Amino acid sequence: MTTLLLDPDALSPSSHQIFTASRLDLNLPQPPRRFFRHGWQSWTLAAWLDPREPPLPIRAPEFRAKDEDPAYAFHKNHVSAWVGAAELAENDILLIGALGLSGRIEVSGSALKGFYEDNHQGEWLVARGREDEVFAKYAALLEAKFGRTRFEKPPRVWCSWYSLYKWIDETVLTKALHGLGNLPFDVFQIDDGWEDESGHWEAGKNFPGGMAAFAEKIKATGRTAGIWLSPFIVTPNLGIFREHHDWILRDEQGNLVTAGRNWTGTTYALDVTHPAVLEWLDKLIRKVVGWGYGYLKLDFLYAGAAIGKRYKDMPREEAYRNALKVMREAAGDAYILACGAPIVPSLGLCDGIRIGPDVTPYWLNRALSVWLNNPNDPATQNAIRTSLHRLWLKPLVHIDPDVLFFRTRWNALTPHENQLLQDLGTLTGFKATSDLPWWWKPSEREKVREFLETAPKVQKLKRYCYQIDGRVADFSPAIPISTSHLDFPVWLARNWGILKIVQHQALPAILAQRLHR
Ligand code: 9PG
């Protein structure tokens, strides 16, 4: 183990240095005004935080497993994944960035501590300067190390999730496909709900014609067929679970490692170092590409880097990256969108990456976000906040802030909130929606066309303020994180939150599916 002690005064503004060490200790003269905390995977909070306020753990275990880096979910200090930064003064940022997998940065009082998990040695960038300057330096070094997306322009995507959720079938999707008419979407992507089960990746009962036939149908409209998979997680009632017990990741005590809950219940993580699992992943991706899908949304990827005792002993993020590489090779020319994905270990192996939590057709689900202390929970405010703090990744990979809404029907966002989300889409350049075409008024449909066809001029004015063509977009309303000291019982918050999901998400989806059968 090598620990490097650094004096921040030795680093003059607009300069940077690279060090190799397993630990890096930097003592500032006083606690930083703000600490940049970068969340581990797509959904995990990225934001400038007040370092004097200690982190509050997520109060419900199933969301801790799904939304946080499991190693630090109860840590007493803020722990940032790969990159952390201290705001010393206005326009004076000190950034520490790991250039290897598993680097973390912790802030403790006036000390910044970089460390690699398991005391591995690795490289560190230490840079001082303006915010944009130090993050651009870090992004350039990451690109040199891990590579970048192979595609110039991000695709324009219609995705089934944020209107129909899991209530999809051949009929309603065919109707949506044809309803898009000549709108310039490049990809029509089927989301969760097509499969028999997570882990049994065959057409479920709602797709009696099979997935290859549906891909054909999509391609016949001139669009790329897209499909969702969560390759690293499995549900417990599957053959794979019974027949290949050794494929499921276990902890040091031999207990199965859960990977959090999805819409269908508790899921478990695969041991992605097991040769038979890697072979299975390779076959799975080749099968789906063989069906005709040229755009793969690979989700819940964090499960590949869950904590556990693996078949091959290696750092968890290295295990993850090796498995993603197998899928990358199997995918050939297909576009890979990584979702729920550890950010840095995915670079160079995916074309796009989700950079925030899921959006919702409302601003915030108070019960799930505030009462349960979970700023990673699906909600448009949470999505905007975290995505805004990851725009620096744009030169490396297509950054997906999730879908935008153009519909006013089944949309409880205020026009201003909805505009902020669309503006975020403009900043990232990744344009996607899930609106059902028959939910649009004619004027909304025209807005979609215009949005897909144009690239407004964007200029950054301040940290959260941009000029978009002639207009100013001020994202500050999305930044605050409200917390509650009321200690609502977790079961109450959970059920209260689900009511909101049922009202604004499930009900419209179920109605749409029934009415268009
Ligand atoms: C499909 C979705 C969509 C979405 C992904 C991911 O149970 N949960 O709390 C939960 C939250 C988010 C979530 C899934 C489950 O979202 O981000 O785009 O593909 O999966 O299941």
Question: Does residue 392 contact residue 54 with C-beta atoms inside 8 Å?
Answer: no
CA distance 345 to 303: 13
Structure token digits, residue 216? 């054909």
Please give the chain's pLDDT, 517 residues, in tens.
Answer: 667 666 777 777 788 999 999 999 999 989 999 999 999 999 999 999 999 999 999 999 888 888 999 999 999 999 999 999 999 999 999 999 999 999 999 999 999 999 999 888 999 999 999 999 999 999 999 999 999 999 999 999 999 999 999 999 999 999 999 999 999 999 999 999 999 988 899 999 999 999 999 999 999 999 999 999 999 999 887 777 778 889 999 999 999 998 877 766 788 999 999 999 999 999 999 999 999 999 999 999 999 999 999 999 999 999 999 999 999 999 999 999 999 999 999 999 999 999 999 999 999 999 999 999 999 999 999 999 999 999 999 999 999 999 999 999 999 999 999 999 999 999 999 999 999 999 999 999 999 999 999 999 999 999 999 999 999 999 999 999 998 888 899 999 999 999 999 999 999 999 999 998 6
The pLDDT assigned to 486 comes to: 82
Q: Which of 68, 159, 192, 359 to mutate to test the pocket of ligand 1 (most atoms within 8 A of CB)?
A: 192
Tally of residues, the chain: 517
Looking at residue 79, its amino acid is V
Nearest atom of ligand 1 to the alpha carbon of 263: 7
- Is the shortest distance between the CB of 74 and ligand 1 below 6 Å? no
277 Cα: distance to centroid of ligand 1 (angstroms): 23
Give whole-number Cα distances, 130 to 125, 133, 137, 377, in Å: 15, 5, 11, 31
CA distance 81 to 51: 16
- Is the shortest distance between the CB of 339 and ligand 1 below 6 Å? yes
CA distance 495 to 510: 19
Question: The pTM is what?
Answer: 0.97
90 Cα: distance to centroid of ligand 1 (angstroms): 37
- Is the shortest distance between the CB of 263 and ligand 1 below 6 Å? yes
CA proximity to 58, closest of 285, 373, 406: 373
CA distance 502 to 455: 36
428 Cα: distance to centroid of ligand 1 (angstroms): 21
**On the CB side of 112, how many CA atoms lie within 13 Å of its CA?**
32
- Quick: pLDDT tens for 128-138: 999 999 999 99
